[in-house]
Structure 1
């Protein structure tokens, strides 16, 4: 039986199924017609994690039949990934940076909002609904769920590697080169709404006595009405933003 040789580069070997994990070269039987996308995903790696596929020094797309291929080099998405430019693997584009954040990386949503990014969260939604919403709203799906990202409808997504929220934030900002798009304290960390300046007089009836006494600059969420001011927590939040920028 003839085989194709799949050569995985970068961190992709770490994402393979347990029996193959860590292996760079895998022999795959050409016993039936199968797309290279289905082959890669059958080995455990979602198509969203693939940045380029090369064979005989030519680039191919996900639809290529494995039976027509002998040696295939598979590369991960490498920063900076510019989703505003179409590629062979992803002919569609994203004009505005926006995310849909799965519950398994839920804390990442608040940190992205802190930096000014549009990041909606999902609760009690099936994978199908998350994938559909990501597609219809043209959002990048952030998750640690491989099966979610393997869905055909998913065009843009990231299998988040880091387990700590700050590390996850740095990972996403670096991958998509978002350093220049950071707009601190412009979104509500709770509902994702935009913040707007508001006078103290407009919201003074909602302030605690000490807040009334010591603070004069306020912002309010246009969606949920939550009030923000540069209190003692402000320096900690600014430190998180500075860390993400590095």
Structure 2
């Protein structure tokens, strides 16, 4: 290719998306003179969902900028907290992020989750139709044009995943208000209303209950409450508005 040559410097936080041969500082890249800078960045492996400012020779440009010969490009990560257009802030998680989905719901964050693999086109379409931020570790999925908004989940550890999402988006936290099974709203319930879901010991010793308005699942302070309380307390201490 005899097109323009540019220098591209990808921020350290984004180099995990880039082939190793291009990770050591600014590298020369030959382009065709027609592709936009957004396409060029994606061709390096970086999803635009992870890109903040694109800076060319010291000035910020749009992703639609067409690079010219000799330009120096800096690719910066998304600034945190990230502002997402529209309201309210809602998420959609792919099949591999079930634990993260349940923890977000525990904190009262609207987190839809696909428990089966419905395919990338369907996930992207749902993100657009429901105006949800798609959370995924699938880099290819985050390149899809029909996405409304998306974000790469950088860790495989549930604690780090939750911290990353809360730090990046700073959603409003309202713990104990969502069903961790289906994402529906929780409402106070009487013991009689949930009696069919209670074992004998629970029926005798517990008096405070909640019930999901969508799926009907009952909630109370059971054996795992202390573990859940730890997750909630930690999140509120670090990320509550």
Same fold (TM over 0.5): yes
Structure 2 residue aligned with 1:6: 8
Aligned length: 234
Deviations 1:144-169 (A, max 9, x none): 01111111122411111011111101
**Is the Cα–Cα contact under 8 Å of residues 79 and 175 in structure 1 kept in the other structure?**
yes
Match of 1:89 in 2: none
* Structure 2: tracts of 5 or more residues without a match: none
> How much does 1:32 deviate?
3.6
- Deviation string 1:51-107 (CA, Å, 9 cap, x unpaired) is 111123322111111236701111001211121xxxxxxxxx131111110112222
CA positional deviation for 1:39: 0.8
* 3-state SS, counterpart of residue 244 of structure 1: helix
TM score, norm. by length of structure 2: 0.91
Counterpart contact for 1:97–1:139, Cα < 8 Å = yes
User: Which stretch shifts more, 167-176 or 149-158?
Assistant: 149-158
Return structure 1 stretches of 4+ with deviation > 4 angstroms: none
**Structure-2 separation of matches of 1:129 and 1:214:** 45
Measure, in 1, the Cα distance between the counterparts of 2:39 and 2:112: 29
Q: List alignment gaps of at least 5 residues for structure 1.
A: 84-92
The aligned counterpart of 2:67 is 66
Aligned runs of 1:74-223 on 2, under 5 Å? 74-83=75-84, 93-122=85-114, 123-178=116-171, 181-223=172-214
- 1:13–1:206 CA distance, 2 compared to 1 (3 A): closer
Determine helix, strand or coil for the equivalent of 1:196: strand
Moved more, 107-116 or 205-214: 205-214
